[in-house]
Amino acid sequence: MFELSAEDRVIKVFNFSPLTNELVGPADAWVVANTGLPAHCTMEKPPVVKANQVAVYTESGWKALEDLRGVVVYDKATGEGTRIDALGPIPDSKTHLMPLSKFDVWNGKKWVKDKEAEKNTLINQAFQDRKERMAMAAENINILTFAKESEQATKEELMLLIAWQNYRLQLSRVDVSKAPDVAWPGEPANVA
């Protein structure tokens, strides 16, 4: 414990960071007569800390806190990864376990895949893919239909019109609920 003295003196102190209160290291402090210790230091010896710990000075003295700064952790609600930037243990809302897919959900102990969410996403993607293929088929059919109706179509274009109409029909029959194992029909050659 520090006591005022009528004489100047050198005292061994332990400095700590003004931002985090973590141990900076020991030093010899010059203390002028009738003054106190310099800011951000104490005469109390810090504890010996283990790997991934740091000594931090608190109102009640030194404590050993976990130092996981820089470690990537994952939010249990979103799976989003972030780096720890503060002293202390991993927050309860985070885990060091990385999710293996965007469909993983935290079950309280580990990540488990939400197969229903994955299946719904794959079905929606297949539905969107079919919609885009149908739009392309319609565009080609419109061009070829105009060529036929205006009596400008070649034999190849008439055969291509039938191929695109058949392709569109086959697309309408595709079972997107089988995603990702959707059997897409072969696409005819483009007109344009």
DSSP per-residue letters across 47-77 = PP--TTEEEEEETTEEEEEE--TT-EEEETT
Report yes or no on 189 lying in a domain: no
Number of domains in the chain: 3
Report yes or no on 37 lying in a domain: yes
Both 147 and 174 in one domain: the answer is: yes
Both 21 and 36 in one domain: the answer is: yes
Report yes or no on 2 lying in a domain: no
169 DSSP assignment: H
Count Cβ atoms below 10 Å from residue 41 Cβ, excluding itself.
19
Report yes or no on 108 lying in a domain: yes
Each of the 192 residues of the chain gets a pLDDT tens digit; together they read 677 788 889 999 999 999 999 999 999 999 999 888 999 999 999 999 999 999 999 999 999 999 999 999 999 999 999 999 999 999 999 999 999 999 999 999 999 999 999 999 999 999 999 999 999 999 999 999 999 999 999 999 999 999 999 999 999 999 999 999 999 999 998 765
Work out the burial of residue 16: count CB atoms within 10 Å of its CB; fewer than 13 is exposed, 13-18 middle, 19 or more buried: buried
Note the pLDDT of residue 189: 80
d(CA 162, CA 61) in angstroms, rounded, equals 86
Both 108 and 135 in one domain: the answer is: no
d(CA 153, CA 155) in angstroms, rounded, equals 7
Of 188, 118, 132, the C-alpha closest to 160 is 188
Note the pLDDT of residue 191: 64
Q: Any idea which residue has 């007109």 for tokens? A: 191
**Full residue range of the structural domain in which residue 101 is found:** 72-112
Note the pLDDT of residue 2: 75
Report yes or no on 13 lying in a domain: yes
Both 101 and 154 in one domain: the answer is: no
Report yes or no on 184 lying in a domain: no
